[in-house]
A = this chain, B = another copy of it.
Amino acid sequence: MSIETYLPFWQKLTPTQRETLSRAATTHRVQRGTIVHNGSEDCVGLLLIVSGQLRAFILSDEGKEITLYRLLSRDICLFSASCMLNSIQFDISIEAEQDTTFYKIPTKVYHHLMQESAPVANYTNELISARFSDVMWLMDQILYKRLDSRLAAFLLEESALTGATELKITHDAIARHLGSAREVVTRMLKYLHSEGAVTLSRGSITIADEKKLRGLAQESLR
Main secondary structure on A side of the interface with B: helix
Name the distance in Å between A7's Cβ and chain B's nearest Cβ. 16
Q: Contacting chain B: which of A19-27, A82-90, A187-195?
A: A82-90
Out of B64, B115, B138, B143, which one reaches A144, CB within 8 Å? B64
Categorize the interface residue count of chain A. Answer: 35 or more
Q: Contacting chain B: which of A41-49, A98-106, A123-131, A169-177?
A: A123-131
Q: Are A132 and B88 in contact (CB under 8 A)?
A: yes
Out of B87, B116, B221, which one reaches A127, CB within 8 Å? B87
Could you mark each residue 68-94 of chain A with 1 if its beta carbon is under 8 Å from any beta carbon of chain B, else 0? 000000000000000001111110000
B-facing residues in A108-155 (Cβ within 8 Å): 114-118, 120-122, 124-133, 135-140, 142-144
A58 interface hit (Cβ, 8 Å): yes
Query: Chain A residues in contact with chain B, CB under 8 A?
Result: 58, 60-62, 64, 66, 85-90, 114-118, 120-122, 124-133, 135-140, 142-144, 179, 220-222
